[in-house]
Amino acid sequence: MRDFYSPAATPLDQADGLRRLFAGARRRYLPLVANPHVAFTGVVLEHLSAGLAAFGLSVLVVDAADSAPAPQEMALIDLAACIEPLSPEVSYLAARGLPLAHVDTRGSASGFLDAIVQAAPQAEVVLLHAGASDLARLFGGRAIRPLLMGADHPGSIKDAYASCKLLAQRCGWMTFDLLLAAEPGNRRLPSIAASLGSCADSFLGALLHDWTVIDPATDFTDPPAAALLRLLAAQLAIDDDALPAAVPRRAAARLATTPIPY
């Protein structure tokens, strides 16, 4: 894993005070659905962690996708020793296969989340990158909105829809966000997002809540795009067992200044 996490960008004005508004809230999780047809997954992780750090939050990236590096040998004994600090704001854990290693007799891998809490108590946000099946085992029963990934490639959108379908059927999650790793000027992107949203609505009854573009050619140390910050703020505001409802909603409302572009 290369040391690409060192967000130095100053938080945008619209994010000022978000950390204070979230003070006292417990850990938040952002579930990023792995997609083997997206060539720039590392770039997506870079930009997401930089965007979260721009809110003034401590971020742990847990990379448990099939394409992730293998965990260190000590991972099942001393998980904390396997966490790599990459910047003052961001740490990284190579975790391929670790969710399955924590599956209990009910098929739940939530024990891995407990292990993460114990290993990284300072992490305020956990960005968890894993396949749809692993995310279902990890977060089943929680109120989350999975982050799908795609690109200007039919195979990537087909895989994103398949993940959406699996998560809707197994966990009852009916809203999703979409990150497209592509050149922002690509005129096909709005129709790609609209097509995925239409299929999710027509065949699953699910909603594509928001989408944005992450430019693989953009340096992640640049100030995060407003659209990405808006999407992340809405993710952080989702109510589940770990979040108080009222304060994050107010914070997200201040950031939701850009309409969904389709």
Question: What is the domain partition of the chain in residue ranges?
Answer: 25-253
What is the per-residue pLDDT across 46-74, written as a single tens digit (0 to 9) for each?
A: 999 999 999 999 999 999 999 999 999 99
Residue 15 in this model has a pLDDT that exceeds 80: no
The count of C-alpha atoms lying within 13 angstroms of the C-alpha of 233, restricted to the half-sphere facing its C-beta, is 31
What is the per-residue pLDDT across 233-258, written as a single tens digit (0 to 9) for each?
A: 999 999 664 333 332 333 333 333 33
Residue 25 in this model has a pLDDT that exceeds 80: no
* CB 50, CB 147: distance < 8 Å: no
Looking at domain 25-253, its CATH architecture is: 3-Layer(aba) Sandwich (3.40)
pTM: 0.83
* CB 35, CB 159: distance < 8 Å: yes
